[in-house]
Structure 1
Amino acid sequence: MVALLSACAVIPAYQPPDLPMPAVFKEAGATWAPAAPADALDRGAWWEMFGDAELNRLSEQVQLSNQNIAAAVAAYAQAQAVVRQQRAGLFPSVSLSGGATRSGGEGASRSGTTTQASLGVDWAPDLWGRLQNGVNSAQANAQASEADLASARLSAVGALAAAYFQLREADAEIDLLQATVDGYERSLTIAQNRYAAGVVAQTDVLQAQTQLANARADLATVRQNRARFEHAVAVLTGQAPAAFALAKAPWVAQVPEVPLGLPSTLLQRRPDIAAAERAVAAANAQIGIQRSAYFPSLSLGASLGNTGSSVADLFRASSTVWSLGLSIAQTLFDAGATAARVDEAQAARDARVAIYRQTVLTAFQSVEDQLTVLRTLQEQEPLRREAVSATERTAQQLLNRYREGQVSFTDVVTAQASALSAQRALLQLQVNRQLAAVTLIQSLGGGWQAPWLPGPGG
């Protein structure tokens, strides 16, 4: 009878929430496929696609030393322990107790020692699936915690890559500004010489001094930014900023080539989507737990014990006492409390479904945004390079003409400012391309070159 009743679970049949899928990525033209859980598949060392050995070393260190990842690992271990705890409730509990009592009084008949020992077994059969639903809910929460761990790893390495690329861009900008300061110092010397010769007015010298001072101020600002990025890298790798230093090195401004047709299976690996779906499953199991309160609960108990006036009496059959018990409890009236708890669980599941759908929609938006950014920046780069070349030639030609007295120093200052602005804009565009690639990888739940991905043939 118990086995038959145990099959009468009251949990609603679980189906992952439906969500209308677009036929293609609007910005990439990739066809979507039916969803299949893939968040546990290997994402590969996606950071290696940027071709920077120092970034590879730091990324490995982040996964070992980052404290947010360490906290997520502990949370996952905690969730696994809860699963084991819930599963233990499906089995009987066995207890052993013993003791000795000595009593005394005025009469000899009132004095003596009593020794007892007993073995007890208690079991509450899971008639309506309440305990199994608790296990299912805990397992879903543990899977969500595992996805949170994957999300923490992806986020930490993504933050590292972003800080590292901005640090390397700052190194390149420091070199540019230092060269610019050197050039402005030469321009100031030219202006001072021409003023001393009585060829030009003092305003040329003042303009050159202003331009040089502004360039030095910009250089100090970029050095400050570089220090902030270095501090961020230190914390992400689990080190104190005071004990960490990242030496200057050439900037590898490489950007991974995005495939023309990104398969939809990539988005299925996003850990936040996996965590949101598992939260729906856990909430669905809670409905079954609350519904089980409508039905009676059954408890079985058995005990076997001995009582005697001495330890030797405990081993005599005549001193053995045993018992078997069956109890059934049913709530007859609770003023609608059970129904309210069921409604609460159903509303919680509906909320989780909405959160899951919003998470998926946000993922769609993020992928489309980054594909747009990457395409736009790629189109802009050759134009920025053309602008840099043109402004550099213009500035040099005007400086030569100024030496010959053909143009004013104001023309030189304007041209040099335009050249510097164009060069800095090109550097910013290059780092923005790398940052957009990192964000796209995070939006897809990992790199697009993991070994499990299907080839062109399917």
Structure 2
Amino acid sequence: MGRCRASLILGLGATVLVGCVTKPEPKAEDVRALAIPHVAVPQAWSMQANPAPVEAGWLATFGDPQLDALVNEALANNPDLAIAAARVEQADAQVDLATAQLKPAIGILGRAGSKPVSDLVAMLSGVMLRLTWEIDLWGRLRYARYAAIAQRDASGADYRFARQSLAASVARAWFVATETAQQVKLANTMAGDAERLVGLSNDRLRVGAGNETDVLAARASQANYEDAAKQVELAHRSALRALEILVGRYPSAAIAAREDLDAFPGPVPTGMPMDALDRRPDLVAAQRRVAAAFDLVGEAKASFWPTLGISAGYGRVSRRSRVAASVDQTTASGSATTVVPIYFGGQLTGNVALRTAEQHEAIANYGRLALQALDEVETALDNENTLATREQLLREATEDSRRAAGLTETSYRIGKSDLRDVMNRQLSANAAEVALLAVRRERLVRRVDLHLALGGDFVQGDAAANAEAAPSGAQR
């Protein structure tokens, strides 16, 4: 506004208007410089990663058609996603409303009556075409429109991020449901082993090689394993219901889980840290909200300047009176109105202060999300490396524990070890299997987290390209 100039020259035959040129919105790199000025974003991730560009279509890398179908079902039926879509529609409507303020308003004014109010007061009736228009000299209305466009862009990015987050949530819930299904099978196997151990202790008692204490301990162990199986079955049904809620079904725990967890996919390209900041839809949304806040500051500052409105009318009017002849005539009118702000009790300066504070908040929020995004990628990469090592160690531990449990049970059969050794070996073997299953599921979940943190879309083709494309912003 400081350098903006507007001149209004009224003459007999001409009106010359020179409007204010609005300032451009800050670009993504400008927002980053303001939001995280003391953070040097490196060229590569600190954890070991593949620097190739991030690819869309990560859902297909799991090779699970049932998971693909569940994600598609969630996209069609999930209520939270429907809410995000409705917010995009609302933002579109706000843009239309803001755009309408820049255009003339045209309407028809009509008046009719049966008779004059009195003999001396004539009655006017007729129809006029009326035009009113506020000329945006200082950019106040344009700033409002740009802010609405930026908010619409942010809502669109929010919707894209909601889609990606929903696909990731379905994948995580699917892996948890599969893990709990495997835990149910494992718990039932454990209960079966405990039952078999009860029979074995009874056999030893009958032939005089065992004692009643072993029988009671075996029965107690069997009861504990059966109780654990019931708990795992409940956890599995809860996992299925959580998955059904995500895909928009009635929570009846009726989805059939896989018999085993998906195979872990191959390495994933991670791109560069700066690319992730530009690609992630939630950061695109935050950047566009900074732009909207900038435009609202411009709108508030433009409110200090005078407003100019023009109006015009054209129509047919009838004048009817009891004491004079009726007159029908065509009429036209035109006027211009200006309002110069002088004193509003601090309202204008308060509005500028409010909008400026909102802009500071939007910038700080972008900085928070940017650091969070970088941390999510680094953490996911760290987890990938650590969990891969843990899975290998636990796989070896599970195999060794099972072999040791088998050998101890054989020794117990021939009387070379006691029941306590057998139970301890079984407990160790079962714990190793449960830990291995948990790590396998955790690896899959963390891979999903990595894809979400990188901002790559879960589908390929035009949908992915549209989802990753940053909004261009308003044309100024």
Q: What TM-score results when the alignment is normalised by the length of structure 1?
A: 0.89
Q: 1:73 aligns with which of 59, 80, 85?
A: 85
The residue aligned with 1:283 is 293
Q: 2:44 aligns with which of 24, 28, 48?
A: 24
Q: What TM-score results when the alignment is normalised by the length of structure 2?
A: 0.86
Q: Using the alignment, how far apart are the partners of 1:279 and 1:26 within structure 2?
A: 30
The residue aligned with 1:377 is 387
- Cα 1:284–1:261 change in 2 (3 A) is closer
Q: CA deviation at 1:440?
A: 1.1
Q: How does 1:267-346 map to 2 (within 5 A)?
A: 267-308=277-318, 319-346=329-356
373-382 vs 114-123, which moves further: 114-123
Deviations 1:291-337 (A, max 9, x none): 01111110111112322158xxxxx9961222110111111123433
Whether the aligned pair in 2 keeps the contact of 1:98 and 1:116 (CA below 8 Å) is: yes
Q: How does 1:27-426 map to 2 (within 5 A)?
A: 27-29=47-49, 44-103=56-115, 109=119, 114-242=124-252, 245-259=254-268, 262-264=271-273, 265-308=275-318, 319-426=329-436
Q: Using the alignment, how far apart are the partners of 2:432 and 2:216 within structure 1?
A: 24
Q: CA deviation at 1:269?
A: 2.2
The one-letter code matched in structure 1 to 2:201 is A
Q: Using the alignment, how far apart are the partners of 1:302 and 1:281 within structure 2?
A: 36
Q: CA deviation at 1:150?
A: 1.0
Q: Using the alignment, how far apart are the partners of 1:435 and 1:200 within structure 2?
A: 47
Deviations 1:410-443 (A, max 9, x none): 1111001000000111000100001111111111
- Cα 1:29–1:247 change in 2 (3 A) is closer
Mind listing any 5+ residue stretches in structure 1 that lack a counterpart? 34-41, 311-315, 454-458
The one-letter code matched in structure 2 to 1:327 is T
Whether the aligned pair in 1 keeps the contact of 2:402 and 2:429 (CA below 8 Å) is: yes
- Cα 1:104–1:289 change in 2 (3 A) is closer
Deviations 1:1-55 (A, max 9, x none): 679855414547524312442232111356699xxxxxxxx97442221111110
Q: CA deviation at 1:245?
A: 1.5
Deviations 1:134-179 (A, max 9, x none): 1100000001100111121112111111111111111112122222
What secondary structure is seen at the aligned counterpart in 1 of 2:44? coil
- Cα 1:163–1:294 change in 2 (3 A) is same
Q: CA deviation at 1:201?
A: 1.9
- Cα 1:295–1:248 change in 2 (3 A) is closer
- Cα 1:262–1:203 change in 2 (3 A) is farther
- Cα 1:78–1:25 change in 2 (3 A) is same
Q: Using the alignment, how far apart are the partners of 1:4 and 1:114 within structure 2?
A: 36
- Cα 1:450–1:368 change in 2 (3 A) is farther
Whether the aligned pair in 2 keeps the contact of 1:11 and 1:129 (CA below 8 Å) is: no
Whether the aligned pair in 1 keeps the contact of 2:19 and 2:138 (CA below 8 Å) is: yes
422-431 vs 201-210, which moves further: 201-210
The residue aligned with 2:11 is none
Q: Using the alignment, how far apart are the partners of 1:344 and 1:23 within structure 2?
A: 37
- Cα 1:6–1:155 change in 2 (3 A) is farther
The one-letter code matched in structure 2 to 1:246 is I
Q: CA deviation at 1:224?
A: 0.7
Q: Using the alignment, how far apart are the partners of 1:151 and 1:114 within structure 2?
A: 60
- Cα 1:293–1:110 change in 2 (3 A) is closer
Q: Using the alignment, how far apart are the partners of 2:380 and 2:332 within structure 1?
A: 73
408-417 vs 24-33, which moves further: 24-33
Q: CA deviation at 1:246?
A: 1.2
Whether the aligned pair in 1 keeps the contact of 2:59 and 2:459 (CA below 8 Å) is: no
The residue aligned with 2:472 is none
Whether the aligned pair in 1 keeps the contact of 2:173 and 2:239 (CA below 8 Å) is: yes
Q: CA deviation at 1:402?
A: 0.6
Q: Using the alignment, how far apart are the partners of 1:76 and 1:85 within structure 2?
A: 14
Equivalenced residue count is 437
What secondary structure is seen at the aligned counterpart in 1 of 2:335? strand
Whether the aligned pair in 2 keeps the contact of 1:399 and 1:412 (CA below 8 Å) is: yes
410-419 vs 329-338, which moves further: 329-338
Whether the aligned pair in 2 keeps the contact of 1:280 and 1:349 (CA below 8 Å) is: yes
Q: Using the alignment, how far apart are the partners of 2:339 and 2:352 within structure 1?
A: 19
Q: Using the alignment, how far apart are the partners of 2:459 and 2:195 within structure 1?
A: 49
Q: Using the alignment, how far apart are the partners of 1:380 and 1:115 within structure 2?
A: 89
- Cα 1:149–1:197 change in 2 (3 A) is same
Mind listing any 5+ residue stretches in structure 2 that lack a counterpart? 1-6, 9-14, 321-325, 466-476
Q: CA deviation at 1:110?
A: 6.7
Whether the aligned pair in 2 keeps the contact of 1:28 and 1:262 (CA below 8 Å) is: no
* Alignment RMSD: 2.6
- Cα 1:111–1:92 change in 2 (3 A) is closer
Whether the aligned pair in 1 keeps the contact of 2:179 and 2:261 (CA below 8 Å) is: no
The residue aligned with 1:313 is none
The one-letter code matched in structure 2 to 1:145 is S
Whether the aligned pair in 1 keeps the contact of 2:102 and 2:136 (CA below 8 Å) is: yes
Deviations 1:32-80 (A, max 9, x none): 99xxxxxxxx974422211111101111111111111111111101100
The one-letter code matched in structure 1 to 2:72 is E
Q: CA deviation at 1:447?
A: 5.0
The one-letter code matched in structure 2 to 1:257 is G
- Cα 1:233–1:303 change in 2 (3 A) is same
378-387 vs 112-121, which moves further: 112-121
- Identical aligned residues as a percent: 27
The residue aligned with 2:469 is none
Q: Using the alignment, how far apart are the partners of 1:153 and 1:21 within structure 2?
A: 27
Q: CA deviation at 1:350?
A: 1.1
Q: CA deviation at 1:218?
A: 1.3
